[in-house]
C-alpha cells in the first residue's frame, strides 16, 4: 500500500490517510490481501470530512485538479524535522472549528491545548456550563459510543476522562461564579458508588466511575469500606438515580445483602447495581434481590456493561420492560437452583478418605533458616522480571494474549510486525495494549530511578504438624477446610493433608508469608487523585498489584533455593515458574484452597506483618490493597485444589476450631455453602 502514497514520502499524516481511504474503498470492491503497517493506521471515519474529500478525489480520480488540491494540503501539514532528526507531525486538527477541536482532544485524550481552546469557547458560549453541556459532552458521548461499539478501549477511555477532568477544572472558577446566576450543567443522571464495609478494593469501581462519567453521568463516589448506614445517609442526601455496590472478597457478598435490606427498610425504590470479582448473577438472584423488593437489583458482570445497564434503568420508555426481564431471569435462576442438589459426603467420611502420603518414607528437608524474617526495601528492579503481564492486561479489559508485547523491542518495525500477528479485528486493541505497556514500563522505570520502598515482605519457616484438619504452627492452630463434594476418586482434600500428622512422629515444616507491593505508595496515588489524573492513578494501582504478586513469586523462589533451601539446585525460567514447575505449592488466603479471609488474622499475629506496613480490615482484608499472604508447602505431592461446597456440619466444626461463632464464619464462606 505504501506505493500508493510514495510521492508524499516524508509526510506521514497524508500517507496514512491515503492508505486508510484506499483500503476502505478497495476492500468494499473485493480486495482481500494487502501489505500495510498497522502501527500507522488511521480510522477512516476519523479523517476530517474535508480532508477525506481531497484524498478521495485523488484516489478515485474524481476531479481534474485533485492532485494539485491534495498537494497544497500536504504542503500545509508537512512534518518538520526536530533537532534530533525525527519527523514531528504537524497537528492539522488544530485547524478544525472550535467544537471539533474540543471533541478531538477528548477522544484522543489530548489536554495540551485545552486552556487555549476553552478561553476561545468562553467568548463563544454564554456560560461555562454550556461548554460542558454541548461541545465537551458531545465529545464524551462520542467516547461512550466508540467504547460501547468496541472502537475505543479502556486505556483510551481513561485518558479521555482525564482530559475531560482537566477541562472541567479549567472552567471551575467560571462555573462557581455562574452559580449565582443559575448556571447548572445538565447530566444524564446521578450515580452513587461505594465499595462495601470491610473491603478496600476499588480498581473495578474506579473503572466503572470513569466509564459512566464518560457517558455524562454525575458520579458520587463514597470510596471504600463504606458501612450501610453511611450509604443510606448518602442516598437521602444526594438523591441519586442509581446506587452501585462493589466488592472483591466473599464477606462483601453478605455486606451487599445488608445494604439491600437497609434500602428496603428506608423505603427506597431506586435501582441497585451489583458488581465485583466475587459477585455473580446467581448470587444476586438468590441473596440480594429478595432483600430489596421495592427496587430493581441488577448484576453487572464488568465495567463495559455498566453504561447500557444504567441507560436501561433510567430510560422512561424501556425501563419497566428491562426490569421485568431481569426479574424474570432472576426468578428462573432461583427456581433452577432450588431444584439443583449438590451431593456431599459427611464430614466423617471425607476425613476417613484424605489425600494419603506415605509419611514413613518422607524425610522433611530441615530449613537452613527458621523463624521469622523481614525483608524491607526490596528493589523494584529485582521484581520486574517476575511480573506476569497477562494479568496486567486483564485488569485493563484487554486480552491476556497481548502480554507477548513484553518480548518485542520498542522499535517501530518490530511493533508493526507484532501487531500484524493478530487478527484484523484485534489489531487496534493490540496497538493500544502496546501503548499501555509502554506507559507501565515508564512508571516502573521511575520507581527504579527513585528507589521507592513499596515492596516489602515478612515470612517464617516453622516446625509444623497436622491434627485432624488443622495445622499446628509455632504453637498456633490454623484450621482449614476439607472438600465434601462427591467425586469418583473417593478422596477429599484439605491443606492439612500435606503436613505430617502429629501421630506420625515426623517433624515437618511449613512456611508462611505476607508481601506488599504498595507500602507508602499512598502519597503518589493521592497526588494523582488531586491532579484528577485517573489514568495515572489506575495505572499505578494495577502495577502495584502486579508487583505484589511478582514479589511473592520472587520470595517463594528465594525460600525454596536459599532460606529453606530444599531446592538449592533449582534453575527454572520465569515461564517455568509461572507454570508451577517447581516443587511445593504456595496457596494464598482468599483463594479456592483457603477461602476464609479471617485466616489473615492468624497470619498477621504470627508474622507481625504490621512491621512491613500491612494492616487488616474487620473482615481480614489486607491494606495496602496490593498485598498477598499465604503458606509455603514443600512436599512434592502437595497440590492446589478448590474446597468447593461444604455442609453446615463442617461450618459448625470449622467455627469451633476457629474459636468463632458459626454465623460469623458463615459470612466468610458464602461461596462454599451448598
Residues assigned a catalytic role: 199, 201, 252
Distance (Å, whole) CA 289 – CA 284 = 6
Q: Which helix (H) or strand (E) holds 313?
A: helix 306-314
Distance (Å, whole) CA 36 – CA 414 = 14
**What is the number of other CB atoms lying within 10 angstroms of the CB of residue 674?**
14
Can you read off the three cell numbers belonging to residue 157?
Answer: 477511555
CB neighbours of 481 closer than 8 A, spacing ≥ 6? 469, 494, 594, 595, 596, 643, 646, 650, 654, 669, 672
User: For 429, what's the count of Cα atoms within 13 Å in the CB-facing half-sphere?
Assistant: 23
Can you read off the three cell numbers belonging to residue 400?
Answer: 491476556
Nearest residue to 288 via CA among 303, 305, 273 = 273
Evaluate the omega torsion of the peptide bond into residue 46 and state whether it is cis, within 30 degrees of 0: no
Distance (Å, whole) CA 461 – CA 602 = 15
Runs of H (alpha helix) within 583-661? 599-607, 648-658
Give whole-number Cα distances, 633 to 90, 462, 496, 566, in Å.
60, 11, 10, 11
Helix, coil or strand: residue 308: helix
Distance (Å, whole) CA 472 – CA 479 = 9
Nearest residue to 427 via CA among 436, 435, 439, 418 = 418
Q: Give the total residue count for the chain.
A: 674
Contact 519, 493 (CB under 8 A): no
Give whole-number Cα distances, 572 to 292, 562, 578, in Å.
53, 14, 10
Round to the nearest angstrom and report the end-to-end CA distance of the chain: 61
DSSP letter assigned to residue 89: -
Give whole-number Cα distances, 230 to 190, 249, 305, 618, in Å.
17, 20, 27, 17
What are 162's strand-pairing partners?
A: none
Can you read off the three cell numbers belonging to residue 593?
Answer: 484452597
Distance (Å, whole) CA 191 – CA 235 = 10
Tracing cell 508487583 back to the chain, one arrives at 547
DSSP string, 181-227: GT-----SEEEEEEEBTT----HHHHHHHHHHHHTTEEEEE--SSB-
Runs of H (alpha helix) within 500-596? 522-530, 534-558, 574-578
CB neighbours of 20 closer than 8 A, spacing ≥ 6? 41, 42, 43, 44, 47
**What is the number of other CB atoms lying within 10 angstroms of the CB of residue 534?**
23
Distance (Å, whole) CA 558 – CA 551 = 10
Q: Which helix (H) or strand (E) holds 245?
A: strand 242-246
**What is the number of other CB atoms lying within 10 angstroms of the CB of residue 467?**
15
Evaluate the omega torsion of the peptide bond into residue 624 and state whether it is cis, within 30 degrees of 0: yes
Amino acid at each position: 500500500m505504501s506505493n500508493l502514497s510514495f510521492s508524499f514520502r516524508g509526510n506521514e499524516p497524508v500517507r496514512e490517510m491515503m492508505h486508510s481511504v484506499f483500503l476502505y474503498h478497495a476492500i468494499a470492491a473485493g480486495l482481500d490481501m494487502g501489505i500495510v503497517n498497522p502501527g500507522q493506521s488511521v480510522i477512516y471515519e476519523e479523517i476530517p470530512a474535508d480532508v477525506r474529500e481531497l484524498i478521495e478525489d485523488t484516489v478515485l480520480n474524481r476531479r481534474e485538479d485533485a492532485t494539485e488540491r491534495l498537494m497544497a494540503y500536504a504542503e500545509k501539514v508537512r512534518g518538520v524535522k526536530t533537532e534530533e532528526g525525527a519527523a514531528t507531525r504537524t497537528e492539522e486538527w488544530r485547524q478544525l472549528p472550535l467544537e471539533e477541536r474540543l471533541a478531538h482532544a477528548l477522544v484522543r485524550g489530548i489536554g495540551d491545548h485545552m486552556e487555549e481552546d476553552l478561553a476561545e469557547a468562553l467568548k463563544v458560549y454564554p456560560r461555562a456550563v454550556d461548554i460542558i453541556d454541548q461541545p465537551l459532552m458531545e465529545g464524551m458521548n462520542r467516547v461512550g459510543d466508540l467504547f460501547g461499539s468496541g472502537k475505543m478501549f479502556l486505556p483510551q477511555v481513561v485518558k479521555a476522562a482525564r482530559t475531560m477532568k482537566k477541562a472541567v477544572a479549567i472552567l471551575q472558577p467560571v462555573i462557581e461564579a455562574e452559580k449565582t446566576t443559575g448556571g447548572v450543567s445538565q447530566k444524564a443522571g446521578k450515580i452513587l458508588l461505594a465499595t462495601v464495609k470491610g473491603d478496600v478494593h476499588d480498581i473495578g469501581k474506579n473503572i466503572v466511575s470513569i466509564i459512566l462519567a464518560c457517558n455524562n453521568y454525575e458520579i458520587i463516589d463514597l470510596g471504600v469500606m463504606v458501612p450501610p448506614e453511611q450509604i443510606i445517609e448518602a442516598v437521602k442526601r444526594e438523591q441519586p438515580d442509581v446506587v452501585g455496590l462493589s466488592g472483591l472478597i466473599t464477606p462483601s457478598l453478605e455486606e451487599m445483602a445488608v445494604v439491600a435490606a437497609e434500602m428496603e427498610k428506608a423505603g427506597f425504590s431506586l435501582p441497585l447495581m451489583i458488581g465485583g470479582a466475587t459477585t455473580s448473577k446467581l448470587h444476586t438472584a438468590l441473596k440480594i434481590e429478595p432483600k430489596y423488593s421495592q427496587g430493581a437489583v441488577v448484576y453487572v458482570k464488568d465495567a463495559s456493561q455498566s453504561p447500557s445497564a444504567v441507560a436501561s434503568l433510567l430510560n422512561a420508555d424501556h425501563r419497566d420492560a428491562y426490569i421485568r426481564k431481569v426479574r424474570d431471569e432472576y426468578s428462573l435462576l432461583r427456581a433452577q437452583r432450588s431444584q439443583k442438589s449438590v451431593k456431599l459426603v459427611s464430614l466423617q467420611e471425607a476425613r476417613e478418605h484424605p489425600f494419603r502420603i506415605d509419611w514413613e518414607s518422607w524425610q522433611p528437608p530441615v530449613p537452613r533458616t527458621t523463624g521469622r524474617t523481614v525483608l524491607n526495601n526490596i528493589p523494584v528492579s529485582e521484581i520486574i522480571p517476575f511480573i506476569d503481564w497477562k494479568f496486567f492486561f486483564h485488569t485493563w479489559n484487554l486480552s491476556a494474549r497481548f502480554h507477548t508485547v513484553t518480548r518485542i523491542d520498542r522499535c517501530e518495525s518490530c511493533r508493526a510486525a507484532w501487531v500484524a500477528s493478530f487478527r484484523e479485528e484485534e489489531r487496534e486493541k493490540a496497538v493500544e495494549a502496546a501503548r499501555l505497556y509502554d506507559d507501565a514500563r515508564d512508571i516502573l522505570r521511575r520507581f527504579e530511578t527513585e528507589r521507592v520502598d513499596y515492596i516489602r515482605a515478612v515470612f517464617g519457616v516453622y516446625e509444623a504438624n497436622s491434627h485432624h484438619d488443622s495445622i499446628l504452627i509455632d504453637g498456633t492452630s490454623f484450621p482449614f477446610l476439607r472438600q465434601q463434594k462427591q467425586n469418583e476418586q473417593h478422596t477429599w482434600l484439605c491443606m492439612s493433608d500435606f503436613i505430617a500428622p502429629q501421630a506420625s512422629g515426623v517433624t515437618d515444616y511449613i512456611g508462611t508469608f505476607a508481601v506488599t507491593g504498595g507500602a507508602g505508595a499512598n502519597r503518589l496515588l493521592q497526588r494523582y487523585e488531586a491532579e484528577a489524573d485517573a489514568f495515572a492513578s489506575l495505572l499505578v494501582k494495577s502495577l502495584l498489584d502486579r508487583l505484589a504478586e511478582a514479589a511473592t513469586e520472587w520470595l517463594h523462589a528465594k525460600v525454596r533455593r536459599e532460606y529453606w533451601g530444599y531446592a538449592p539446585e533449582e534453575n527454572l525460567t520465569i515461564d517455568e515458574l509461572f507454570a508451577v514447575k517447581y516443587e511445593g505449592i504456595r496457596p494464598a488466603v482468599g483463594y479456592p484452597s483457603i477461602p476464609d479471609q479471617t485466616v489473615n488474622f492468624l497470619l498477621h499475629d504470627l508474622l507481625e506483618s504490621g512491621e512491613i506496613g500491612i494492616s487488616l480490615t474487620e473482615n481480614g482484608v489486607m491494606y495496602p490493597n496490593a498485598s498477598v499472604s499465604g503458606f509455603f508447602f514443600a512436599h512434592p505431592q502437595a497440590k492446589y485444589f478448590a474446597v468447593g461446597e461444604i455442609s453446615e456440619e463442617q461450618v459448625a466444626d470449622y467455627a469451633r476450631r476457629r474459636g468463632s461463632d458459626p454465623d460469623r464464619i458463615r459470612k466468610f464462606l458464602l461461596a462454599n455453602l451448598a
